[in-house]
Structure 1
Amino acid sequence: MAPRKRLDPTIIIKRRPIEDEEEHNGSWKLAYADFVTAMMTFFLIMWLMNITTVEQRKGIADYFNPVALSQANSGADGMLSGRAVDKSGALSTPNAPGEHSIPVASPPVVASVGESDREPAGRKDPMPNPPGSPAPPAERGTAQQAQAAQQQAQQQQGAQRDARAELEALLDRQTSALNEQFALEQTERDLRRRIAGSPELSALSDSVIIQQVPEGLRIQLTDQAKFSMFAVGSARMNDQGRRLMRLVASAVAAAPNALSISGHTDALGYADGAKYGNWELSSDRANAARRELISAGVPAQRITRVEGRADLDHLEQGSPLDPRNRRISITLLRSAPTGG
């Protein structure tokens, strides 16, 4: 039997996969530190720009100016290397004239931090005026301007309030006038309806004249050829006149308006007009109508005027002796007479 050959040993090397250890190294810390430093620098610059004045910022900029050489007016060694200087600054070359110089930077202005964050460092506000001392002219002018502006604003507000009050009063008057006009028209319709609904007075509808006048609602009770409210030449009212007067009283009793009563006659005069004439007759008839209205339920305080007009205001101007000129005029007065 042939001897076995000795085989070489087989070596198997197992390698574990290399894990990503990037997250365990410290390179991110350096990047983060650079970022924080940049942010601090940025906020420091913003803070310095907020609390410093323009002169202070110019001084800081001059301090970091790379072309600055010297501010000392001496010939010391070092940067100047023994060259002479004058009040204009260091010379640019050994043989340069004195009026030629290079720019020299100024050191930054060092100032204390202000008392508050809103007060820039190094800025000193002037001391306020002591109590009782007069204000500077500029402040006095500003105060006078402010006072004048305030007075003008108050005057404008007062004018606006007055205009508003006047407008409201005008609207109230117009509203009252419209309400009053409606009430007068309602009284007119009521009176016409009462006359038309009365069989004994419907024949006398021509004796009642109702008009809207600037003074108010005028109701005129006139005589006719076959009808008269009074006896001839007398102020004694007959039964037909009383019924007609009471009908008018029932229509005007509910209205709050004041009443005016006037008496009128025709042009026919008395034989002895010196003792009693148309003036007395018209006045007595108006007063008789007043008593009849009061007895029919019209309050006496509502009657504000009773007058006799004699034969001055004829209803029929072309016929002075027309019986329609003999009449009693009752007017419901407006609270504010209107034109028209």
Structure 2
Amino acid sequence: MESVYKTYCASYDHALQLVESYRRDPRLQEEILDTLNATVPHTGASDLSFFLVMPVQRVTKYPLLLGKILENTPSSASAHSALQAAVRAMAQVNANINEYKRRREVATKYNKAEHLTLRDRLARLNTHSIAKKTTRLSRLLMHEAGIVAKTEDKEYDDLEEKFQCVASSVATLKENVASYLGHFEAFLLPTPHQCDLQMEQGPAQQQRRLAELLQGSVLPEFRQRVHRLVWQPLCSLSDMLEGPQQLVRKRLDKLLDYEEIQERKSEVGSVSYDEEAAMNTYLAINDLLVAELPRFNQVALQLLGQILRSFSALQLDLAAQALHHAEKELEQV
């Protein structure tokens, strides 16, 4: 239950934005209202937000409801200890949902920053941001030089290494497939079979008929299938990697801030509100990546494997078709 509510609550604000966009389309809004009136007229709901908020409200009411039941249950009752455990469990579920939602909001914030225009990026530059970037660069150089120790996180480091391996594999495969398709297009340009050979029969005419068949239907169909089953999924997978890559880069920035603040805290004994927020941001990004990179790596590897299998199968099928048509031509000799 917790995982379902986590995903739902983290996506709730985005769902409300979609509902708001629906309101700007009168025809769509009318269809939604007609559907609501036909299916749930007793609710009096005027839009989907009436229903979207229900799960969010419900999960927060569970601890209150259980707590009220516990208050009215004698301590001597056999169910008392079970109710206490249920109250604690639901309180923890709500805390976990809120923490997950906070992490997702941090991730969304930095993913949006990745798509800022150059003008927006320049507008955000100020003395403070430049000083912060300079401090980060200085600390990164000290890491590389071994002057200061880097914060070790074996679990995260292993996950990131695997993620970077997947990302590198996808980028390399995308580059190779693009090159393959480019060469394939160049291969289709010459059309010697369209020339008049001044020969009525013989191997030359067989070659001409075979080339005409391959270039007229077999090869163009193969090209379309490669685009649909290999290139497009590969591009989608590459796009899917952008969000985690941005978070990985942002985690490094926040780690450098975190280490700097930790040093200052050990010297002074306290930190400012903004510094505390910066430390919490690093922890949120780190926890989110540690929680989600394993699943992401697994899914990305599965997709990559499927793309490679599709590519291999398409080429085997092309070879089989070419051989089949060539054998048919030879049978006519």
TM-score, normalised on structure 2? Answer: 0.19
Larger RCO (CA within 8 A; separation ≥ 6): 2
- Point out the structure with the larger helix share: 2
- Point out the structure with the larger strand share: 1
